[in-house]
Amino acid sequence: MATHALSPAIPAYRGGIYEWLTTTDHKKIGIMYVINSFLFFLIGGVFALLVRTELAAPGIQIFQNEHVYNESFSIHATVMIFLFIIPMLAGLGNFAVPLMIGAPDMAFPRVNALSFWMLPLGGMLLLLGFLTPGGAAAAGWTSYPPLTERGPLSSPGPGQDLWIVALILIGTSSILGGINFLVTIFKMRAPGMTLFRMPIMVWTILVTSVLVVMATPVITSALVMLFIDRNYGGSFFLPDKGGQAILYQNIFWFYSHPAVYVMVLPAMGVISEVLPVFSRKPLFGYKAFIFATAGIGALGFSVWAHHMFTTGAVFLPFFSLMTFLIAVPTGVKMFNWVFTLFRGQLTLSTPLIFSVGFLTMFLIGGINGAFSASVPIDFALQDTYWVVAHLHYVLFGGSVFGMFAGIYYWFPKMTGRMLDEGLGKIHFVLMFIGFNLTFFPMHMLGIKGMPRRIADYASDAGWNDWNLAATIGGFLIAASILPFIWNVFISLRNGKIAGDDPWEGNTLEWATSSPPPPYNFDRLPEIRSERPLFDARHGLAAHGGHGGPGDEEAPKLLEEGDHDDQGPGDAA
Amino acid sequence: MTAEAPAIASGSGGVAHADPHAAASGHAQRGISNPILGMILFITSEVMFFSGLFAAYFATRAANQPWPPDVFADILDPLGPIIIATIILITSSFTCQFAVWSIRRGDRRGFNRNIAVTFVLGIVFLIMQAFDYTLLFGEGMTLGSGPFGTTYFTLTGFHGAHVFGGVLMLGVLLYRGMAGQFSARHHDAIEAVSLYWHFVDVVWILLFSILYLL
């Protein structure tokens, strides 16, 4: 096909590993983000398995002491949040956004490379904590003072300092990435790509980047204050020296609640690309979805204190109300997705299955979240396994299923080869069962009063069965990763050749070759709606004028109504 | 899924015959340039960073009365050397803007002169801050001397670090200006650095107001 971009004569350059280490190409950087994040996913997963093994039955002691257990769950959460979910979604965005808006690269390609390379550095600093006396950070991913202040009974060792420095580095990487995304989206769009013709994925990355740029510096300020407290005799968070421990929680959650949306909005964007393609319909309510995304982003800044209900230091009615309110735009999105599927011509491919996994699991995570938003219930469930269940249904059931949908969806574009559908479905089934077996019992454990972050429990507390089920589920999740790795491994060598557009996609990345040339596009189809490739396939692009044969053909095509499609994309 | 992309394949009909170079460069040629927008967003993130520090300052101050504590009752005198440092930094913001206006007119010599003055004023401010710190240390006020010292040195210290970063950028501008790398059409770096320098100045005015006057 003519869309195959011809490779120009490339001047002599050093290939192989040197090219990857020095690249400023957003696609290569995006792929490195994905690989790096996946490696940290494996590391975080090992810590999760250690935690689950410890809790499988009462009395088990697999660690030399319980402090190592504390290190394990702290590093598990930190790695999964800051080195897996956030950068994995940023990586998918890095790969997809310039392609989707018809740009040759990000606005600042070298800053983009800098953003990426801070991540492995930050991750190494974090994990180096295990080699220091006293071990890695062990105060949970929230690292509340005064537990994290320096002191013989709190956090004496350098592990906590390494945690702080690592998070500042990773945060700076996020901020630079967010700025890069925003300038790219505002300034680098192809002719015709108005804001309201951008793919939903680009919109969610846009809102996410606003959250990153506005919220991440705030946690940086909390971290530097904690660092000053620990190392230079400061007294920000030390009550005995005139500071306030709650102050840290306020500043921390002012970032970390919007961070929840940083972790889920791009995954919502991914499935909003996948669902229309595999149900052969435009997204139901394109603009409603965008306004809902912006609404979630705005409301996200006004709900942080619902993490602090039991401190007695926050205005409960306000934060409870705002938290319930944020369910409204999220509910709008559920309607968008469900009605996109409704009466669609579904192709049950792996990306679609993972997206439906997102829909169902995220729905549970939203509903049990609404329970926690209610102040009296939260007082009962605060710091129990209910909260662990909720956050995993949102972050794993939501974000992780969404990002696997994205990986299966864009793997052909990244590599030029298809992933194997059979192995993909085995991956999904194992992961879906394992996920629910791990995290659904945690609801029961929470209601039965099991606190988070404990290394052992009494055998007569009534928690044994659910804990064993959760541990078995955890190993099932680990097993589900094996077919995925095998799939990637064999597909890179022998996978079906993808071609430019294996899914009959709607968005611009499918208009160039797979993998795309370094500069992305030789030519772009005309952009008249949020589905330029659909328009090009069905001759609707010329409908808006510009002459050409499309002028007469377009109405006829509409009447023929092939594929049950619903006409121009802006009909939503 | 029979319909292949005929429009694209035939290169007629729905395909925009865009100049491939225009598509490849992808620039929307209107509005502010990428570096300036990037700097504005960076400053936004810096504003949020300082917001965190300011919030901590007010929360700490509200919980600790009297403020400043009796030991340091008169240590922060707004009419001491600090007022001179403040005037110097505000002046440097003006000279920085004069430099921008100069280069917009294409006046390279005027740009070099103004940016050199700005650069020197920034360094003088840093020297005065260091001098101020030694005086305070001499009086026994440090990061470790309770909430007052902690917040004072954290806020002014991070501001000083930003001034230092700005001085480095001004130094690069001066070097590039003397090498003749800027013109009336090509000076995005100058516009961006001047925005940053004004931001640093505004932070100082806020800091001076809440630390010394309020």
Nearest to A244 among B34, B59, B142 (CB): B59
**Residues of chain B with C-beta less than 8 angstroms from the C-beta of A236:** 56, 60, 147, 150-151, 154
The confidence score (pLDDT) of residue B65 equals 86
Nearest to B150 among A215, A236, A549 (CB): A236
The confidence score (pLDDT) of residue A558 equals 39
B161 close contact with A: CB closer than 8 A: no
The confidence score (pLDDT) of residue A258 equals 95
Alpha-carbon distance A313 to A150, whole Å?
25
Q: What is the DSSP letter of A136?
A: S
pTM of the model: 0.90
The confidence score (pLDDT) of residue A468 equals 97
Alpha-carbon distance A519 to A408, whole Å?
23
B66 close contact with A: CB closer than 8 A: no
Nearest to A549 among B13, B50, B146 (CB): B13
**Residues of chain B with C-beta less than 8 angstroms from the C-beta of A501:** 5
Nearest to B26 among A190, A232, A235 (CB): A190
CB pairs under 8 A between A and B: 203
| Chain B: residue whose CA lies nearest to A535 | B14
The confidence score (pLDDT) of residue A5 equals 54
What radius of gyration, in Å, describes the C-alpha atoms of chain B? 24
The confidence score (pLDDT) of residue A13 equals 57
**Residues of chain B with C-beta less than 8 angstroms from the C-beta of A313:** none
Q: From the CA of A513, how many Å to the nearest CA of chain B? A: 13
Strand partners, A451: A384
Reported as a single tens digit per residue, the pLDDT across B52-109 is: 999 999 999 999 988 888 888 888 888 888 999 999 999 999 999 999 999 999 999 9
Helices H / strands E in chain B, number of each: 7, 0
**Residues of chain A with C-beta less than 8 angstroms from the C-beta of B45:** 175, 178-179, 213-214, 216-217
Cβ atoms of residues B141 and A236 within 8 Å:
no
Closest CA to A97 of A181, A219, A3: A181
With CB atoms and an 8 Å threshold, state whether B23 touches A511.
no
Cβ atoms of residues A34 and A420 within 8 Å:
no
With CB atoms and an 8 Å threshold, state whether A179 touches B28.
no
The confidence score (pLDDT) of residue A566 equals 42
Sign, CA dihedral A282-A286-A292-A295, equals positive
Sign, CA dihedral B87-B88-B92-B98, equals positive
The runs of H, that is alpha helices, within A395-506 are 401-415, 421-447, 464-494
Instruction: State chain B's mean pLDDT as an integer.
Output: 87
The runs of H, that is alpha helices, within A56-136 are 66-78, 86-100, 109-128
Alpha-carbon distance A262 to A292, whole Å?
15
Please state the φ and ψ torsions of residue B15, each to the nearest 5 degrees: -90, 130
Reported ipTM: 0.89
The confidence score (pLDDT) of residue A552 equals 40
Query: Which segments of chain A have a pLDDT < 70?
Result: 1-15, 540-572
Nearest to B8 among A107, A216, A511 (CB): A511
- Best probe of the A interface among B150, B196, B199, by most A CBs < 10 A, is B150
Q: Which two tokens stand for residue B23?
A: 């598509």
B58 close contact with A: CB closer than 8 A: no
**Residues of chain A with C-beta less than 8 angstroms from the C-beta of B146:** 235, 241-242
- Other Cβ atoms less than 10 A from the Cβ of A484: the count is 21
Bond from prior residue into A58 cis (ω within 30 degrees of 0)? no
Q: Can you state the angle between helices B34-63 and B188-208, rounded to 10 degrees?
A: 10
The confidence score (pLDDT) of residue A549 equals 41
Rounded to the nearest angstrom, the gap between the alpha carbon of residue A219 and the centroid of all alpha carbons in its chain is 19
- Cβ contacts of A521 within 8 Å, gap of 6 or more: A5, A102, A104, A190, A508, A511, A512, B20, B23, B24
With CB atoms and an 8 Å threshold, state whether A563 touches B3.
yes
Mean of the pLDDT values across residues B16-30?
Answer: 44
- Best probe of the B interface among A172, A240, A246, A524, by most B CBs < 10 A, is A524
Burial class (CB within 10 angstroms; exposed 0-12, middle 13-18, buried 19+) of A242: middle
- In chain B, % of residues over pLDDT 90: 74
Strand partners, A497: A417
Reported as a single tens digit per residue, the pLDDT across A429-475 is: 999 999 999 999 999 999 999 999 999 999 999 999 999 999 999 99
With CB atoms and an 8 Å threshold, state whether A107 touches B38.
yes
What region does A192 belong to: left with phi over 0, alpha with psi -120 to 50, or beta? left
Alpha-carbon distance A148 to A230, whole Å?
8
Reported as a single tens digit per residue, the pLDDT across B111-121 is: 999 999 999 99
Alpha-carbon distance A14 to A202, whole Å?
33
CA distances to A283, A395, A511, B97 from A275, in Å: 8, 20, 19, 52
Long-range contacts formed by B20-26: CB under 8 A, 24+ apart: B20/A521, B20/A522, B20/A523, B22/A191, B23/A102, B23/A190, B23/A191, B23/A521, B23/A522, B23/A523, B23/A524, B24/A104, B24/A519, B24/A520, B24/A521, B25/A104, B26/A102, B26/A103, B26/A104, B26/A188, B26/A189, B26/A190
Nearest to B28 among A189, A250, A533 (CB): A189
| Residue that is written with structure tokens 């899924």 in the block | B1
